[in-house]
Structure 1
Amino acid sequence: MATTVTAPRGMRDHLPADKARREHVLGVIRGVYARHGFDEIETPVVEDAARLHSGLGGDNEKLAFAVMRRGLTTEDLRQADAPLDLADLGLRFDLTVPLARFYASHRAELPSVFRAVQIAPVWRAERPQKGRYRQFVQCDIDVLGEPGQLAEIELIRATTAALDALGIVGTSIRINDRRILLALLASWGVTEQSAADRALITVDKLDKIGAVGVAEELGTTLGLDPAATADTIRALESADWDSVRGADWLDAEAFADLERLRAALPGVDLRFDPTLVRGMGYYTGTIFEVAHPDFGYSLGGGGRYDGMIGRFLGQDVPAVGFSLGFERLVDLVSLPGSAESDAVVLVYDKDVDPVRLAALKAEALDTHHRVRLEKRTKNMKNLLAGLAEQGFGSFATVGTDTTSLDGVEFRPLA
């Protein structure tokens, strides 16, 4: 009986053409971030289970993959009160918690203001669906040690530059501040921290269940008047810089900070959105997301998380980060034509001497950045079409009498 062999559920293999596109996008992003003064680091794929479940990751902690301790016995299984009692490590669910631990470990070796790049896979036990995977790559930049708005300015500038370099135009940055959200909740009578945390989780569902759904859930969990809450939320959905200025519920200091940030970023489409929450529980100030009118999802996001590193270091360190949605960006970017035209294929007959083939390939490499050898097949049309999909631009045929590529014609694949 035939067995279907596939990648684990929610994870993917990447064929050569897809892998080439992914590497192109990664190369562009890395190049832009390096130009903007960010340094790339690397952290282990696993962290201590206690660190991953310390309350810093919000709902993502529930999605963390645990790694069971070595040498477990049946007695250990009997004595465990919960599955996590059997785990000492876990796969990272984001790159921010590992960065906080990294900074606490290496602070003495780092500059007072550290600009970090992390581009690596993370794992979450999501319910797999289109555009949502259990293993995916995150592209993060963070500024640690800078308490002022210079950090946000640098992050937004570098992020928009990366999007421009990838050819993604028409984006805007939705921006808000956690202090504004807490002031809004306080105006509804929600002031206790745990209640505010629950309320923010509900408000973060606005794009999925709408104003009425959010209001009904807040009524059920916190006793708020659904009709009045829904009216307020609907008004906030269409709010902008001018319409909220001076509102009695607004945190005036936080809003003034956002306006100063807006003035410092001419040319960036910065849009105030008082309903923007960002799901992670560790944000303390500015939060932002990349929006595009053609897509119903964000292309990236982040915010300020000044309290996280102090959990590991025993001393608070200002921190803010921005993450690009790499898996979504890859689907929007094609390999550049110049790279494709300089990738060539030598199609050879089966009787060509392998030593001569190697010499012809070496000759082609002197003038082309990428060269592939392919044996002639009966169905050349399918072979050439597949090579074009993999990013090759042209091909030449070599036979038993071909001793040099001088005068050999390279023909376009597409």
Structure 2
Amino acid sequence: MPTVNPPRGMRDFLPADKARRERVLSVIRERYRAHGFDEIETPVMEEYGRLHAGIGGDNEKLAYNVLARGLDADGIRAAADDPAALTDLGLRYDLTVPLARFYASHRAELPSVFRAIQIAPVWRAERPQKGRYRQFVQCDIDIIGDATARAEAELMTASLDALDALGLTGGSVRINDRRVLDAMLAAFGFAESERPGVLITIDKLDKLGPVGVVAELRERGASTEAADAFASFLQRSPEEDGRFDAEGIRARLPEGVPDEVVAHLVGIGQAVRTARGDAAAPLVFDPFLVRGMGYYTGTIFELAHPSVSYSLGGGGRYDGMIGRFLGTDVPAVGFSLGFERLVDLLTDDAAQGTGAVVLVHDRDVPLPELLAAKARLVAGGARVRLEQRPKNVKAMLERAAADGYTGFVSLRAGEDVSSLETRPLAP
């Protein structure tokens, strides 16, 4: 017999949980729209070849693939060793690959600089564990067609604004650039062929520490001279004064990083600082921020908040992806909020809705009177649930409060609906 539980790594949401999630989404969506982004929607499935085109990084290995229609048992056996022949579609594992395909399809109908919102579920065949699901919601904003620092600055300003609107003030953005990483590895002496593996190890710096990272590099067979140069660099202690300017960034880098890359980062910081009116831009340069997606070509960043040790979102520039579909490179950069982490982090008060009332009525209230009372409350802006008065009113109201309702109205037969009083539910 099949179980009544959802598939592993996927979840049901009770009404109160769903309402809470939708309230958080509405805040994010409203702030993003206020910054000039327009919402789009793409199918939940894309062609197998597109999802496995080598641009999705390790996520491609986690894609759920859909068996091609029309295959009989013999056809399935013949194609068993060739996933591309066995499947023709797959569930999207992120929203960036679908966006690139969307833009390539609709470029003539879109503005030259297109600001997109995508808020939708994605699927990955993860190993389920706390905080990691097989189905989860991504909240993405992307700017396509702008190669300047303005695009990154707009994304960061909008995302920090959304965080503020959710009550999570004090957020900051850790930022780096893949060109910085490449120049650093070249300066240390790592061969180009070994750099992808070196980056995988450097990405573990927060977990393993400098000693552990250098040890793993040696275990992986990295160049001895390059590993020694990297170890010496990690032993430096540049002054941490929080400056996000050319001098402050250069102080944390070896020689050889191109001036235009540093200037690009500085331009982002100046724009974000001006937009937010802060004395110091909430940006932190992190020369060892890697982010694992293989399609990043330039700036990369992660959203941080002092209340947690993990990131609340991130993104980067992926100028080469759309060219895979269009034949012409188009600059693009995106930012994704970690929606599931945000929902878990917010307090009940921060995510609580208002104006939801329970209309508690006696059994003998005539239907026209009951619906007239409900219509009056709805017209006044309330969300209304009808509840026939039970023996245990207190338990019913406690359940309503747990479901996100904030008040209740009592109605008896023959009562003047214009005199109904909404009373608050006890917290």
When normalised by structure 1's length, the TM-score is: 0.92
Query: Which of residues 362, 365, 370 is equivalent to 1:352?
Result: 365
Unmatched 5+ residue regions in structure 2?
Answer: none
Which of 325, 328, 332 pairs up with 1:319? 332
Kindly provide the CA deviation profile for residues 34-53 of structure 1, in whole angstroms up to 9, marking residues without a partner as x. Answer: 11111111111111111111
2:298 equivalent in structure 1: 285
Q: Does the CA contact (< 8 Å) of 1:286 and 1:304 recur in 2?
A: yes
Call closer, same or farther: CA 1:392–1:220 in 2, change over 3 Å.
same
Please tell me whether residue 253 in structure 1 is matched to residue 250 in structure 2.
no
1:221 aligns with 2:228: no
Cα–Cα, structure 1 residues 338 and 17, in superposed 2: closer, same or farther, change >3 Å?
closer
Report the CA distance shift for 1:206/1:212 in structure 2 as closer, same or farther (over 3 A).
same
**205-214 or 270-279: bigger deviation:** 205-214
Whether the 8 Å CA contact 2:56–2:294 is kept in 1: the answer is: yes
Q: CA deviation at 1:204?
A: 1.9
How far 1:271 sits from its partner (Å)? 0.4
Instruction: Judge conservation of contact 2:210–2:231 (CA < 8 Å) in 1.
Output: yes
Percent of residue pairs bearing the same amino acid type: 58
Aligned to 1:189: 189
1:341 and 1:217 mapped to 2: Cα distance?
Answer: 53
For 1:165 and 1:113, locate their aligned partners in 2 and report how far apart those are by CA, in whole Å: 26
1:330-341 → structure 2 map (5 Å cutoff): 330-334=343-347, 340-341=353-354
> Aligned partners of 1:294, 1:340: CA distance in 2, in Å?
23
1:374 corresponding residue in structure 2: 387
Distance 1:336 1:362, change over 3 A: farther
Q: Deviations over 1:141-160 (max 9, x none)?
A: 11111111111111111111
| Match of residue 410 from structure 2 | 397
Contact 1:236 1:275 (8 Å CA) reproduced: no
In the alignment, does 2:21 pair up with 1:22? yes
Q: Kindly provide the CA deviation profile for residues 340-378 of structure 1, in whole angstroms up to 9, marking residues without a partner as x.
A: 452211112333333332222112223242111112233
- Preserved CA contact (<8 Å) 1:32 1:158: yes
1:243 shift after superposition:
6.9
| Local SS of the residue matching 2:387 | strand
Q: How many angstroms apart in 1 are the aligned matches of 2:417 and 2:272?
A: 56
1:263 to 270, 283, 291: 270
State the 1:408 CA deviation.
Answer: 4.2
Instruction: State the match for 1:32 in structure 2.
Output: 31
**1:21–1:333 contact (8 Å) kept in structure 2:** no
Once the two structures are overlaid, the 10-residue window that deviates more, 328-337 or 234-243, is 234-243
* 1:396–1:408 CA contact under 8 A, matched in 2: yes
Match of 2:127 in 1: 127
**Shift of the alpha carbon at 1:231?**
5.0
Question: What stretches of structure 1 of length at least 5 have no aligned partner?
Answer: none
Q: Residues 302 and 238 of structure 1: is their aligned pair in 2 closer, same or farther, counting only changes over 3 Å?
A: farther
Residues 223 and 315 (structure 1), Cα distance of their counterparts in 2 relative to 1, 3 Å cut:
same
Secondary structure of 2:151's counterpart equals: helix
Which whole-Å CA distance do the structure 1 matches of 2:235 and 2:71 have between them?
54
Q: Paired residue for 1:47? A: 46
State how far apart, in whole Å, the 2-side matches of 1:316 and 1:147 are.
Answer: 11
Q: CA RMSD in A?
A: 2.4
**Partner SS for 1:265:** helix
Q: Residue 249 of structure 2 contacts residue 285 of structure 2 at CA under 8 Å; is this kept in 1? A: no
Residue 174 of structure 2 corresponds to which residue in structure 1? 174
Alpha-carbon distance, 1:274 to partner: 0.5
Structure 2 CA distance, aligned partners of 1:97 and 1:262?
28
Q: Is the 8 A contact 1:100 1:309 kept in 2?
A: yes
Give the 5 Å matches for 1:77-96: 77-80=76-79, 81-96=81-96
Amino acid at match of 2:415: T
CA contact (8 A) 1:126 1:133 kept: yes
Q: Given the superposition, is the C-alpha separation of residues 263 and 67 from structure 1 closer, same or farther in structure 2, using an over 3 Å criterion?
A: same
Structure 2 length normalisation: TM-score?
0.89
Contact 2:188 2:229 in 1 (8 A): no
Q: Which amino acid aligns with 1:370?
A: R
Equivalent residue for 2:106?
A: 106
Change (3 A) 1:389 1:117: same
Distance across 1 between alignment mates of 2:85 and 2:378: 56
Counterpart of 1:412, as a letter, is L
- SS in structure 2 of the partner of residue 331 of structure 1: helix
Structure 1 338/52 Cα, relative in aligned 2: closer, same or farther at 3 Å? closer
How far apart are the structure 1 equivalents of 2:54 and 2:394? Answer: 57
Residue 8 of structure 2 aligns with which residue? 9
Give the Cα–Cα distance (whole angstroms) in 2 for the partners of residues 237 and 327 of structure 1: 36
Tell me, what secondary structure is at the counterpart of 2:195?
helix
Paired letter, 1:34: R
3-state SS in 1 of match to 2:88: strand
Equivalent AA in structure 1 for residue 6 of structure 2 = A
The answer as to whether partners of 2:301 and 2:315 remain within 8 angstroms in 1 is: yes
CA separation of 1:299 and 1:374: change in aligned 2, threshold 3 A? same
Output the CA distance in 2 between the equivalents of 1:70 and 1:236. Answer: 60
Contact 1:288 1:302 in 2 (8 A): yes
| Structure 1 position 116 matched with structure 2 position 129 | no
Distance 1:407 1:136 in 2: 42
Shift in Å, 1:397: 2.0
1:203 equivalent to 2:216? Answer: no
Q: Distance in 1 between matches of 2:318 and 2:422?
A: 59
Q: Do structure 1's residue 309 and structure 2's residue 316 form an aligned pair?
A: no
